Structure 1
Amino acid sequence: MELPYAEPYKIKMVESINRSTREQRLKWIKEANYNLFNLSSDKVFIDLLTDSGTGSMSDKQWGEIMVGDESYAGSSSFLKLKKTVKKITGFTYFLPTHQGRAAENVLFSTLVKEGDVVPGNSHFDTTKGHIEFRKATAIDCTIDEAFDTSIIHDFKGNVDIQKLKKVFETYPLEKIPFVILTITCNSSGGQPVSIENVREVSKICKKYKTPLIFDSARFAENAYFIKKREKGYENKTIKEIVKEVFSYGDGMTMSAKKDGLVNMGGFIALNSEKIFKQATVYTIMFEGFITYGGMNGRDMGALAQGLDEATEFDYLESRVEQVAYLGKKLVEYGVPVQQPIGGHAVFLDANKFVPTIPREEYRAQALAIEIYVVGGIRGVEIGTVLADRDPVTRENRYPDLELVRLAIPRRTYTHNHMEYIAAVLEKIYDTRKEAKSGFEIIDEAPIMRHFTAKFRKI
């Protein structure tokens, strides 16, 4: 008899969460202008808005909080983090930042100019935002299989090599500052990238002498999928796989709030001294001195410990398999989700879930709001609202997928919470044909509108 799986940790502290009624939630979401970002956390029962900075730290990480060195320059906590980043990634040069989009801001200020194009695999919203803010263009080169949620493909985050080659054949080389590879690929459903694909992308970058940069927020989860799915890596450790993946690139940005297992933090790591020196100027301008970059010493210590813990198999198995369990329950109920299940979230396919709601009425946003109203669960739309408007025509961009992301915080919710989420989704799916109308936007920011947009129910 095979024994059931059990989490490789025990609970030391608990935090109360508030229950509410459907009537209360209807009132609250209306007051929030139907934007889930506008809800205060006390009005949410299970918060799956993001897995960014929402996880639980370990006892050893809390120990690092107590011994943090808050020296302005050259603190021992910085040196500890720098040493850990070098050990895990292999990159020589290191700049801390306060979070991932800050790392993008510093690096893209260094490398991206007006008129540039930046190819990659389904750029995340802040990545695309930083590119377009500089009047450059993000070009999605993800494989086609990523845009069909029913197709089972082990590495839906992969770059289509022919699409990438076409970019290099179409645009002048000086207009392509770097290629960005997101691991795992959040916007395509938390899907991993294979080492084989990383190698192929790296070969093209080396051929054209163009840097390969990793968006590394979930690099450890990506390594877990490589170990489980890619031939020849089943006996490799997570740390060995991570080291090999990064060996094919020239640098990385990191939102440490994901696979760093901390509540705030990020960094840039590079092999190029030239780019590092250029980036230090923007770090000092935007973030702080180059040995703290907007981070407290105590948080740098906790991050160093978190990076070590996140690259261990037992932790990753617990984390990824909890997400997979929820996904499998939803598949059993017939709920359409991106398959195979991603590393950090379950992505609901709103095009198949509520096709009765017109796309121009933001069907994924409508589904996300219904999940909150029925169960007090806060997810997030990954569809037309997030895709934003075309920077030239100002018309809505309609992506191939309309998704609702249910991002699972790390080491935070229990098995019973997953059962509750699944039951709520089953209930909504059973009544899906009643959904006829969605929402219209009544106020929006000129870029990255999804964070603050206001909606009106149609």
Structure 2
Amino acid sequence: MKLPYAEPYKIKTTEAIRTSTREEREQWLAEARYNLFNLRSDQVFIDLLTDSGTGSMSDRQWAGMMTGDESYAGASSYYRLKETIERIFGMPYFLPTHQGRAAENVIFSALLKEGDVVPGNSHFDTTKGHIEFRHCSAPDCTIDAAADTQLEIPFKGEMDLEKLERVFKSHPKEKIPCTVLTITNNTAGGQPVSMKNIRETAELCRRYGIPLLIDSARFAENAYFIKTREAGYADKTIKEIVREIYQYADIMTISAKKDGVVNMGGFVAMRSEELRRKAMTFGIMYEGYVTYGGMSGRDMDALAVGLDENTEFEQLDARIRQVKLLGDLLDEYGVPYQRPAGGHAIFIDAKKILPNLPKEQFIAQTLGCELYLEAGIRGVEIGSILADRDPDTHENRYPRLELLRLAIPRRVYTDNHIRVIAAACRNIYERRDEITKGYRITFEAPILRHFTVELEPVK
């Protein structure tokens, strides 16, 4: 018989987690003001809030931390990371930062001025936050197919080139400092972008003289989907595909806490020495000296190893198989989600589960609270709360998609945990008609409100 699949690693250390009663969870959720970010980690059974910084590092990464050079300037750890970035991405200049939003802060401080326009394919929360905080706009140019959660196409996170060109034509070139292409497209459900779309987006940008910035949080997973779904790439390695992706980019930002599989870290890299010099000032002000930039030497060494390891097919295959397992189980139970299964998460379609709940009562957040109450599982709302208010009208923005993201940490949970998640989603789906009330906001910050928002049940 054909041997069954097994993960390409073995487990060396475990961490205890505890179950809780529904009564406990009801009390904890109320104390958290119905914001899942406010829960303590020991109040959560299976934590799917994010895959950012929550993965398990390898033995080689832990060993790399022991070689970390903590010199303030010129640390050897910096040069090991620099060599890895040049080899994998082909980017000659980089500035380390403590995480992805810090990389955005550094580069947008160098590039953006008030009134600028930064188009992209569904900017994620911190990206849009940094743009709008600077009184700039972030038009969404994602393909319309991304809004149909039940439509199955291989590359659902792509840039709509006609939409993008309309933005280019309707603004002076000097008002568009860059275009942001996010791989994979997190907001649209962890959906990938094809190499063809990356190449054509770059060609359009260059025709108009606009730099292309790739938001690279899950670049390796995107490369995996190119290898497994796009014609002409099946025989290429992940590293070869990554090098091709980045030959089209002028700038890259990355939260290395995702596909770098580290607990903290990020960087901004670019082809232009002039841009590096401009961004360097902001890097020093906000992050630290240019050869550490908010990262310790040991973290830079762990990241160098993580980038190398996670651009190998076997590691990505094991991770994406687990996400697909959750999708397959939800298919079996009839639970609707953004199809096909994404690279890092399953995005439950809250509108389809709770169609009668008014949008003003925050549909995806309501579903997230129900999942926590059901089984102690913490996800995150990708919907109206995350969308924030319109910066001009101050009205709530209601996006086309109301999604509950269940982000799977790398090498943390077993397939049995995945089965528990699926069963809990099934239980909620089967009693969906009983969920008739959502939540209202009692406190919100003026930007990126979803992290600290406080709510109460609608009476």
- What's the TM-score bracket when you normalise by the shorter of the two chains? over 0.9
Aligned to 1:303: 303
Distance in 2 (CA, whole Å) between partners of 1:394 and 1:120 is: 22
Show CA shifts across 1:285-316 (max 9, x none).
00000000000000000000000011000000
Partner of 2:267: 267
Task: Tell me the alpha carbon deviations over residues 6-51 of structure 1, each in whole angstroms, 9 at most, x when there is no partner.
Answer: 1000000000012100000000000000000000100000000000
Structure 1 CA distance, aligned partners of 2:294 and 2:112? 22
Asked if residue 161 in structure 1 is aligned to residue 161 in structure 2, the reply is yes
- Matching residue's letter, 2:344: H
**What is the distance in 2 between the residues matched to 1:172 and 1:439?**
42
Tell me how far apart the structure 1 counterparts of residues 13 and 282 of structure 2 sit (CA, whole Å).
40
Partner SS for 2:8: coil
Find the counterpart in structure 1 of residue 81 from structure 2. 81
Over aligned residues, Cα RMSD in angstroms? 0.5
- Equivalent position of 1:370 in the other structure: 370
Aligned residues between the structures: 458
The 5 Å alignment of 1:322-361 reads 322-361=322-361
Partner of 2:111: 111
Once the two structures are superposed, what CA deviation does each residue of 1:297-337 show, in whole Å capped at 9, x if it has no partner? 00000000000011000000000110011011101100010
Aligned equivalents of 2:401, 2:208: Cα separation in 1 = 32
Q: Give the secondary-structure state (helix, strand or coil) at the position aligned to 2:381.
A: strand
Write the distance in 2 (CA, Å) between the matches of 1:271 and 1:239.
Answer: 19
Q: Which amino acid aligns with 2:209?
A: K
- Aligned residue in 2 for 1:256: 256
Q: What stretches of structure 2 of length at least 5 have no aligned partner?
A: none
Cα deviation, residue 67, structure 1 = 1.2
CA contact (8 A) 1:257 1:265 kept: yes
Which residue identity does 1:232 align to in structure 2? G
Partner of 1:401: 401
SS at match of 1:299: helix
Rounded Cα–Cα distance in structure 2 between residues aligned with 1:93 and 1:209:
21
1:140 partner SS: coil
2:221 corresponds in structure 1 to: 221
Identity over aligned pairs, percent:
63
- Distance in structure 2 (CA, Å) of the matches to 1:359 and 1:437: 11
CA distance in 2, matches of 1:422, 1:150: 18
**How many Å separate the matches in 2 of 1:331 and 1:2?**
25
Structure 1 residue runs of 4 or more that deviate by more than 2 Å after TM superposition: none
Aligned to 2:33: 33
Q: Is the CA contact (8 Å cut-off) linking 1:346 and 1:406 kept in structure 2?
A: yes
Q: In the alignment, is residue 148 of structure 1 matched against residue 123 of structure 2?
A: no
Q: How much does 1:279 deviate?
A: 0.3
Counterpart secondary structure, 1:91: coil
Q: Deviations over 1:413-438 (max 9, x none)?
A: 00100011011111110000111110
Distance 2:158 2:428 in 1: 32
Please give the alpha-carbon distance, in whole angstroms, between the structure 1 residues aligned to 2:309 and 2:261. Answer: 8
SS of residue matched to 1:80: helix
C-alpha separation in 2, matches of 1:212 and 1:269 = 12
Alpha-carbon shift at residue 65 of structure 1 (Å): 1.0
Q: What is the CA–CA distance in structure 2 between the aligned matches of 1:71 and 1:209, rounded to whole Å? A: 40
Q: Distance in 1 between matches of 2:151 and 2:134?
A: 35
The answer for the alignment partner of 1:234 in structure 2 is 234
Instruction: Read off the aligned partner of 1:66 and give its amino acid letter.
Output: M
SS of the aligned residue for 2:118 comes to strand
> How far 1:5 moved relative to its partner?
1.1
CA contact (8 A) 1:108 1:131 kept: yes
| Partner of residue 415, structure 2 | 415
Code of the residue aligned with 1:64 in structure 2: it is: G
Distance in 2 of aligned mates of 1:93 and 1:402: 38
Alignment of 1:272-287 (within 5 A): 272-287=272-287
Letter in 2 for 1:227: K
Encode CA deviations 1:99-129: one digit per residue, 9 max, x unaligned: 0000000000000111111011000000000
Three-state SS of the structure 2 residue aligned to 1:186 is coil
Q: Secondary structure of 1:289's match?
A: coil
Residue type at the aligned position of 2:162: Q
CA distance in 2, matches of 1:127, 1:66: 33
Tell me the equivalent position of 2:437: 437
Letter in 1 for 2:36: L
Aligned position for 1:292? 292
Q: Describe the superposition over 1:232-257 as per-residue Cα deviations: whole angstroms up to 9, x where unpaired.
A: 00000000000000001101000000
Q: Secondary structure of 1:269's match?
A: strand
CA contact 1:356–1:435 (8 Å) conserved in 2: no
What is the distance in 1 between the residues matched to 2:263 and 2:331? 31
State whether residues 357 and 436 of structure 1, in contact with CA within 8 Å, keep that contact through their aligned partners in structure 2: yes
> What is residue 317 of structure 1 aligned with on the other side?
317
- What SS class does the counterpart of residue 120 from structure 1 fall into? coil
Match of 1:48 in 2: 48
Take 1:2 and 1:145, find their aligned partners in 2: how far apart are those partners?
38
SS of 2:336's equivalent in the other structure is coil
Is 2:388 aligned against 1:388? yes
CA distance in 2: counterparts of 1:199 and 1:48, whole angstroms: 33
SS at the partner of 1:165?
A: helix
Gaps of 5+ in 1: none
- The separation in 2 between residues aligned to 1:432 and 1:8, in whole angstroms, is 39
What's 1:451 paired with?
451
Residue 72 of structure 1 aligns with which residue? 72
How far is 1:3 from its partner? 2.3
Which whole-Å CA distance do the structure 1 matches of 2:273 and 2:422 have between them?
49
TM-score by length of 2: 0.99
Partner of 2:54, secondary structure, is coil
Letter in 2 for 1:10: K
Counterpart of 1:192 in structure 2: which amino acid? P
Cα offset, 1:2, TM superposition = 3.0
Query: Are 1:73 and 1:291, in contact at CA under 8 Å, matched by a contact in 2?
Result: yes
Query: Per the alignment, in what secondary structure is the counterpart of residue 213 of structure 2?
Result: strand
Once the two structures are superposed, residues 350-392 of structure 1 have per-residue CA deviations (whole angstroms, 9 ceiling, x without a partner) of 1101112111000110000000001000000000000000001
